[in-house]
Structure 1
Amino acid sequence: MISPTQSNTATPAPNQSSNGEKTTGLASDFETFLKMLTVQAQNQDPLKPLDASEYASQLAQFSMVEQQVQTNDLLSALGQALGGGNLDKLGKWVGMDVRTPSAFRFAGAPVTLFAKPDPAADKAVMVIRDSEGAIIDRISVPKTDQKMIWAGTGSDGQPLPAGSYSATLESFDGDKLLSEELASAYNHVVEAQISDNKVMLTLESGQVVDASAVTGVRS
């Protein structure tokens, strides 16, 4: 059974934050080394100039220190990108309920589904599928509604067992299928991770979705 209700507006996803860069102690040592080498070259005794091999050795040390500073800066930037900053961002997703177009978990309580019929449609049908993709019910819904309640029953009206289900809204013009839209539902986030610079959320239904697909969040 499906009952129409009023549409909701989505709440924003958790905010992101950035951390400022810090000057390392090695960078400070590098500046000091550069000044000392410059002063040494300016104040050497013209009658006893600095040995060329010793000067070359000091220049080599100078180059090594410079490379080490650059390496540390790069590692620090990578640590910021892959470590603390993003861990804080990921932690905000875990435990939240997010609304995405995906399969959903049914545990005995009615489920709110979100889908918008095609404007040109003269009828709309919500198709309910189980975790294997088999159709278990086809329910006519008002073509003007964008939010509806699924009671969790099959075509025979009997309650369905707990598990993962999905719903697709089919829009028709007469007998012509105009569009199919995977309905959105709220799912509990059980894990968040970064993959290819994207935040990926693992839902209680077992699906993994891109955080950019989230259209609503609630605790």
Structure 2
Amino acid sequence: MVTTTALPSGIKSYEQVIATPKAASTGASQQDFLKLFTTQLQNQNPLDPTKNEAFVAQLAQFSQLEATTNMATQLTSFVNSMSGDRMLNGAALIGKKVAVDGAPIVMSSGQPVQAVIALPAGAEGMRLEIFDSQGTLVRQQIAGPQTPGEVTLTWDGKDSVGTTVADGTYRFKATISSAGVTSNPAVTTLATVRSVSQVDAASPLMLQVDGGLSVALSAV
């Protein structure tokens, strides 16, 4: 049995430190470990010194602690680095247009705008409705049968009576019919990125685009 002399007042035993959760930083924990380990060696019973097996076991525990600490530090550094890279990539998009499903469009001086609808199975018929920021229908376009693939639609910026609409944000809504069933496929438009944000390193990078819409970078 390994015995040691009593430790100086205020210093915990090696076993107490190992069993007690650490509230301090990992750097302080390693220093505490080495301090306790050295103190135990200095205060061991000369007539019954620590056996090689116990000595090796304590060194192994310290090595495991150090390896775990280094791994956690490297992982944290990696996550922070990835987060920084995402922020840089997102910041590079500010002021540029990205394709977003369901994003509002910004009408300016009656300039034509386009939208894309993916129809992998085609459609027997299609209707495109355009609403203003108040939800009022300003224009409706009817199209006939559509072949499978992407359909590009262009709005000339005019309402149902041919008057150029006021500047502002508008939304597209598509309705298709196929085999007697109607559905509303996503309408993809180009929206300008106004800003980027991220809550923390584990959260997705969000792009704020026209109309106050937030969309994940991975979704564009």
Q: Distance in 2 between matches of 1:177 and 1:183?
A: 18
Post-superposition shift, 1:146? 0.9
Does structure 2 conserve the Cα–Cα contact (< 8 Å) formed by 1:117 and 1:171?
no
Report SS of the residue matched to 1:181: coil
Question: Normalising by the residue count of structure 1, what TM-score does the alignment of the two structures yield?
Answer: 0.60
Does structure 1 conserve the Cα–Cα contact (< 8 Å) formed by 2:104 and 2:170?
yes
The structure with the largest alpha-carbon Rg is 2
- Letter of the aligned partner of 1:163 in structure 2? G
Cα gap change, 1:140 to 1:81, in 2 (>3 Å): same
Q: Distance in 2 between matches of 1:154 and 1:177?
A: 28
Counterpart residue number, 2:93: 93
Post-superposition shift, 1:186? 0.5
Counterpart residue number, 1:200: 206
Report SS of the residue matched to 1:209: strand
Query: CA offsets per residue over residues 104-152 of structure 1, 9 Å max, x none?
Result: 1111311111113473632111111111121111101352461121111
In structure 1, runs of 5+ residues without a counterpart are: 1-25, 50-61, 215-219
Identity %: 24
Please provide the CA RMSD for this pair. 4.1
Q: Which one of 147, 172, 180 corresponds to residue 177 of structure 2?
A: 172
- Letter of the aligned partner of 1:204 in structure 2? D
1:124-203 equivalences under 5 Å are 124-142=126-144, 143-144=146-147, 146-173=151-178, 176=180, 178-195=182-199, 197-203=203-209
Cα gap change, 1:103 to 1:93, in 2 (>3 Å): same
Cα gap change, 1:173 to 1:41, in 2 (>3 Å): closer
Query: CA offsets per residue over residues 59-97 of structure 1, 9 Å max, x none?
Result: xxx9xxx8xx68x93995498179644432432332221
Does structure 2 conserve the Cα–Cα contact (< 8 Å) formed by 1:117 and 1:170?
no
- Letter of the aligned partner of 2:204 in structure 1? K
Higher relative CO (Cα under 8 Å, sequence separation at least 6) belongs to 1
Question: Normalising by the residue count of structure 2, what TM-score does the alignment of the two structures yield?
Answer: 0.60
Query: CA offsets per residue over residues 10-62 of structure 1, 9 Å max, x none?
Result: xxxxxxxxxxxxxxxx859947x739945982797938x9xxxxxxxxxxxx9
